[in-house]
Amino acid sequence: MRVKPIFVTISLFFPTALLFAKNIEQEKILEVNTQQHPPSALYENKPSVPTTEALLQRSQMAQRINTARVNRIVKKLKNLTIIQENADVIIYLDDSGNVKDILITEQDSETFSNAIKTAIQQTAPFEMSKQSSLNQLLKVIRIKFRAE
């Protein structure tokens, strides 16, 4: 039992030796850490991931643009015929805004379907955004015509 207090008192008389030993251990830890992480890893750029707010803004902008497009198509269609029938229309566009394909489902008559296609062709080409990520949302236009 006397041995333990003697070692404690000796360590209290030589605090510089303990501090020196602690510094050596800290330097070893720092050396190990710098070897595990090369300096080039600190400067690498991480790929940017769009935030939820940015995705929402893109979606809202695409919705506004598509609403304006639909309004132009409906205005042309009203000049051609009276909308008294139902139809679901999906318009596929290419990168430059030209009509690639028109899919019309649930139409009531062939004449109404032809009037829709004519109105779309007269309204095309559609403006596309300068942002490629937004263009992916603008390549498809969906319209639901319902009898007035």
Domain shared by 73 and 126, yes or no? yes
**Residue 98 near residue 125 (C-beta atoms within 8 A):** yes
**Residue 147 near residue 85 (C-beta atoms within 8 A):** yes
Domain shared by 38 and 60, yes or no? no
75 in a structural domain: yes
Q: What is the pTM of this model?
A: 0.63
Number of domains present in the structure of the chain:
2
What CA–CA distance (Å, rounded) separates 145 from 63? Answer: 17
pLDDT tens profile 2-54: 444 444 444 444 444 444 444 545 554 545 544 555 555 555 555 566 788 88
Strand extents, DSSP E, the chain: 87-93, 99-105, 140-145
Domain with 89 in it: 53-145
Distances (CA, A) of 114 to 71, 84, 121: 18, 14, 11
Radius of gyration, alpha carbons of the chain? 35
